[in-house]
Structure 1
Amino acid sequence: MSITDDGDYGAKQVGFLEIIWGEGFLSPGGIEELDLMLTGLNISNKDVLDIGCGCGGAAFHLTRNYNVNTVTGIDVEPLVIKRATELAHKYRLTDQTNFEVVDPGPLAFEENQFDVVFSKDAFLHIPDKEGLAVEVARVIRPGGLLVASDWMRSNDEPLSDEMMEYIAAEGMDMHMCSIGRYRDAIALAGFVDIELKDRNKWYSDLAKREVAAMSRSPLREKIVNLIGENEAKNTIEIWKKMIGVLESGEHRPGHIRARMPDAKVKIE
């Protein structure tokens, strides 16, 4: 959003998104969407890497409700890692969660270090999807799981004017690709049992409800008190631009699940 005041996620941005999506969350859907992503999976006693962990909302939910062993959350934004660490202390989850600021690029972990690689709407900030898939495959253990959601597109053709206008209004690095490109990248990296679920209609409907809520009391007052009247109006306009590309079908949020075979093949 245009209210970023330091990097992609400044203090106002984080505070605003937590008002909309809940404490610790910087993307839509809350715990209900997390539970849907994980439906039917057993990740009990697993070591989890959360890529683009934000303020830790997903990590805390996995720790509290899925009996995971550990969650290591990484993000390139120091402010959100600071917030996640604060919340870990607040929730008394510091023994099971760890949050680290990382540089963009290859993951700074050993091969076969994690049972599960998780991500919630963060891969869109990484341009090289194929390189990302290879890195995820490298750090995941044989038989391990990739569980993610991301903001994607209907195809990999040049962006429409409407989409370019929306991304410019967001003021953030957004490298959305097609669901098909993700499928190909994940398969090429060695994953099997690949599942992709389109969530366009769900978020199109939710985004409209979010705009309606932001436009009236009591949510509107909370937002205005945090970011001011002008920014509140501007943010609603950005949301409406997003709804436009959701309704056109170009913007297609979705879920990604895949498994690394028990006999893992190293991809050079």
Structure 2
Amino acid sequence: MTTQSSNYYENFQDFLDDVQYSKQGVKKYEWIFGEGYLSTGGLETTREIMPLLELKKGQRVLDVGCGLGGHDFFMAQNYGVYIDAIDLSKNMMSVALQHFSKKPEIADNIKFRICDVTTTPFPDNYYDVIYSRDALLHIKEKPQLFQKFFRWLKPGGRVVFTDYCRGEMNSFSDEFEKYVKQRDYTLYKVSEYQTLIKNTGFVDIKAEDINDKFVDSLHRELKKLYSGRKEFMEAFNQEDYNDLEQGWLAKVKRAKDGYQTWGLFRAYKPIH
């Protein structure tokens, strides 16, 4: 995989689709996460996190960084909600729409859209839930984004998201900083996210470091890669296999060293 910085590209969308989310990259990530998923733990962690959204039939959800659509299909099929599912990656949206075309029973529940959440306007006081899974790490101007989230939510609405985070330490290894720079991530500590959410005006905030769940998911996915090597090699090649194995082992090491963790966040917009 190329390690070119996003500064090399004319726009961030091209960087995403050429580097981390190339067509081949999306296919192999989906293989290890499961059909429709491109985030830690796939369907298993989605089942665990969904109750936090407190979804009720007919509610409106904004999914920021919808990826391949798996979360949206799950919400629409199990809760009967209406979802605006947005992502900047053309490659991921293409796969999401392919999956969506095979689900006519929820055709009216989801609207997929390629757009940049930092520049696209959405209606104020409109959504019951804003949801995101491991996508906000791509966004540099997080304070401005959360101010928009606050406006877009109805009074009493909630934001629920997971994201890759920095560990609660003051210095990080050169290797970790190189990884963050190559991916052009902007990573917050869990405590920094908590402060940001509070300063935005949200209440009843829960900010959890779920590093153990992160590592467990990584080990489970590595086990799938090892046990499914034959199946994987029929669809991909040795370079793809090595890329996933090395990438997952590196994430495990960063997590165990305390440099990288996984955060789970939930907060509410005040009713008054």
State the TM-score, normalized to the length of structure 1. Answer: 0.88
Whole-Å separation in 2 of the counterparts to 1:41 and 1:73: 16
1:60-139 pair list within 5 angstroms: 60-68=73-81, 70-92=82-104, 93-103=106-116, 105-139=118-152
Q: 2:32·2:224 contact (CA, 8 Å) conserved in 1?
A: no
Instruction: Please say if 1:250 is aligned against 2:263.
Output: no
SS at match of 1:39: helix
SS at match of 1:152: strand
CA deviation after TM superposition for structure 1 residue 36, in Å: 2.2
Where does residue 266 of structure 1 map in the other structure?
none
CA deviation after TM superposition for structure 1 residue 7, in Å: 4.6
Q: 1:129·1:182 contact (CA, 8 Å) conserved in 2?
A: no
Q: 1:8·1:77 contact (CA, 8 Å) conserved in 2?
A: no
State percent identity of aligned pairs.
30
What CA RMSD, in Å, does the superposition of the two structures yield over aligned residues? 2.1
SS at match of 1:50: strand
In 2 relative to 1, CA 163–198 (structure 1 residues): closer, same or farther, beyond 3 Å?
A: same
Q: 1:46 aligns with which of 48, 59, 65?
A: 59
Letter in 1 for 2:42: G
Whole-Å separation in 1 of the counterparts to 2:252 and 2:152: 36
Deviations 1:222-244 (A, max 9, x none): 33333311231132112111111
Where does residue 6 of structure 2 map in the other structure?
none
Instruction: Please say if 1:198 is aligned against 2:179.
Output: no
Q: 2:238 aligns with which of 206, 229, 234?
A: 229
Q: Which runs of 5+ in 1 are unaligned?
A: 264-268
Give aligned pairs, total: 258
Q: 1:187 aligns with which of 175, 187, 198?
A: 198
Q: 2:34 aligns with which of 16, 19, 22?
A: 22
Where does residue 162 of structure 2 map in the other structure?
149
Letter in 1 for 2:33: W
In 2 relative to 1, CA 40–234 (structure 1 residues): closer, same or farther, beyond 3 Å?
A: closer
Instruction: Please say if 1:178 is aligned against 2:189.
Output: yes
CA deviation after TM superposition for structure 1 residue 114, in Å: 1.0
Q: Mean Cα displacement is larger for which, 188-197 or 222-231?
A: 222-231
CA deviation after TM superposition for structure 1 residue 156, in Å: 7.0
Whole-Å separation in 1 of the counterparts to 2:240 and 2:172: 26
Whole-Å separation in 1 of the counterparts to 2:199 and 2:80: 31
Where does residue 215 of structure 1 map in the other structure?
226
Where does residue 11 of structure 2 map in the other structure?
none
CA deviation after TM superposition for structure 1 residue 104, in Å: 5.5
Q: 2:191·2:207 contact (CA, 8 Å) conserved in 1?
A: no
Where does residue 12 of structure 2 map in the other structure?
none
In 2 relative to 1, CA 83–172 (structure 1 residues): closer, same or farther, beyond 3 Å?
A: same
In 2 relative to 1, CA 202–193 (structure 1 residues): closer, same or farther, beyond 3 Å?
A: same
Letter in 2 for 1:164: E
SS at match of 1:119: strand
Whose helix fraction is larger, Structure 1's or Structure 2's?
A: 2
Q: Mean Cα displacement is larger for which, 36-45 or 244-253?
A: 36-45
Q: Mean Cα displacement is larger for which, 100-109 or 72-81?
A: 100-109
Whole-Å separation in 1 of the counterparts to 2:97 and 2:43: 19
Where does residue 241 of structure 1 map in the other structure?
250
Whole-Å separation in 1 of the counterparts to 2:122 and 2:169: 31
CA deviation after TM superposition for structure 1 residue 40, in Å: 5.3
